[in-house]
Amino acid sequence: MKLSVKTKEVDEELLMRVLDIKVGGKKASTPSKSVNAYVETGEINEIHKGITLEKINEINEDNRMERYFNGDISRQKKDDSLNFVFLRYNDHRIPDERSMETIVDLQYPHTDALIVPSIPAIVKEYTAESLLNTMLTFIDSYVEAVEKMNSKSIVGIIPSKIPRQFIPNLIQYYHSKDITSFVIDSDGTSLYSHPSWLNSFKREIKKLSIEEEGFIYNLNPNPGKFMKKKEAVLAKDIIMIPFGIDVVGNNHVPPRLSSDVWDKILTERNKGPRRFYPEEYSYRRAEDVNANMIQIKNENITMQYEETIKIREIVKEEKSVKPYIESKPQVKEEKVIHRIESSKREISAPIQTTLF
């Protein structure tokens, strides 16, 4: 079934909007926070799996490996939500035609839209024109494999670590394939700290007049780093909603240390896992340094999802969420509204051309 997007409301002062996303009999509204299989609420269920060329070869050669891979994804699906399967291709080599078809076959039965895999290893390995050409080769190979069997919509991937000069090339390629919804893969960084890049991306969407035809999803956002003496940090993931991100995804980028070692370090520093405070739009360390990190993470997801529902209702009733957002102490302290308004002016400014 094809994906459809309809704009219901537009915030009169900020960059956010209320959308209805439909696939078959399923519907999700935005702005939204994606959830996982362990969270009871939610409209968009995010499933994330890493894969390499070696793993693909193993799956091609061993039926048990394929069964295990499929089983792991199936266990994470939710019947009452849109299921989006994100594959993280952790290899800098381009898969051949057979291997790319395997990637699509693994993803296709489980997802309500075919999302181009994220490609962090390619972005890290290549530079300049070589990076652009390798990205386009990978993406085009994936799209061709999907088109052989497709009755589902394709959603494009945009790595936020690529130079801004390549954003028009990617957007124009996707547009040529009638792909108008996009996932920005932050790969563990924050779009809040990268406003000029996001403005450039949104301007390209505006140039092609396709803003109303799709949604923007932020995958792997960094929630914000604690400074040494600060007790609270701005929630840099959920705050991207008034900047125009329709769906805030989860961060799957693992820490450089194992989770066990990292938990031990936090405990020794007398610092527990971070907890989201919707009344502040901040994260604070949990008071109990031994608190279960996964449990608190899922509680944060639930609170952020509930917060997006509240935001939708405010926009519908009051036409703008600006007074509500700027009432949050952490938002006020960081002067976030000023940054949003600055971005809106830059994106909305007429495009100037120079005649020679």
Q: Which pLDDT belongs to residue 287? A: 77
Q: From residue 161, give the alpha-carbon distance in Å to each of 129, 239, 353.
A: 15, 20, 27
Structural domains of the chain, count: 1
Q: Which pLDDT belongs to residue 354? A: 45
Question: 201-260, pLDDT tens digit by residue?
Answer: 999 999 999 999 999 999 999 998 877 677 899 999 999 999 999 999 999 996 665 666
User: Has residue 354 been placed in a domain?
Assistant: no
Q: Which pLDDT belongs to residue 279? A: 96
CA–CA gap between residue 6 and residue 8 (Å, rounded): 6
Residue 356's pLDDT band, with cuts at 50, 70 and 90, is very low
User: Has residue 353 been placed in a domain?
Assistant: no
Q: Is it the case that residue 278 has pLDDT exceeding 70?
A: yes
Give the pTM: 0.93
Beta bridge partners of 158: 184
Average of per-residue pLDDT values in the chain: 92
| SS3 assignment, position 117 | coil
CATH of the domain at 175: 3.20.20
Query: Out of 8-12, 43-47, 253-257, which region has the weakest mean confidence (pLDDT)?
Result: 253-257
User: Has residue 355 been placed in a domain?
Assistant: no
Q: Which pLDDT belongs to residue 264? A: 61
Q: Is it the case that residue 1 has pLDDT exceeding 80?
A: no
Query: With contact defined as beta carbons under 8 Å apart, do 236 and 224 qualify?
Result: yes
Mean pLDDT of 167-176: 97
User: Has residue 189 been placed in a domain?
Assistant: yes
User: Has residue 356 been placed in a domain?
Assistant: no
Alpha helices (H) along the chain: 53-61, 63-75, 97-107, 120-125, 128-147, 167-176, 195-207, 259-268, 293-318, 322-326, 329-334, 336-348
Q: Which pLDDT belongs to residue 259? A: 60
Burial per residue of 318-334, b for 16 or more beta-carbon CB atoms within 10 angstroms, e otherwise: eebbbeebbebebbeeb
What one-letter code names the amino acid at 54? E
Question: What is the residue range of 17's domain?
Answer: 3-347
User: Has residue 352 been placed in a domain?
Assistant: no
Query: With contact defined as beta carbons under 8 Å apart, do 99 and 53 qualify?
Result: yes
Query: Out of 196-200, 295-299, 348-352, which region has the weakest mean confidence (pLDDT)?
Result: 348-352
User: Has residue 115 been placed in a domain?
Assistant: yes
User: Has residue 256 been placed in a domain?
Assistant: yes
Question: 326-341, pLDDT tens digit by residue?
Answer: 999 999 999 999 999 9
Identify which of 157, 288, 313, 304 has the alpha carbon closest to the alpha carbon of residue 241.
304
Q: Which pLDDT belongs to residue 103? A: 97
Residue 355's pLDDT band, with cuts at 50, 70 and 90, is very low
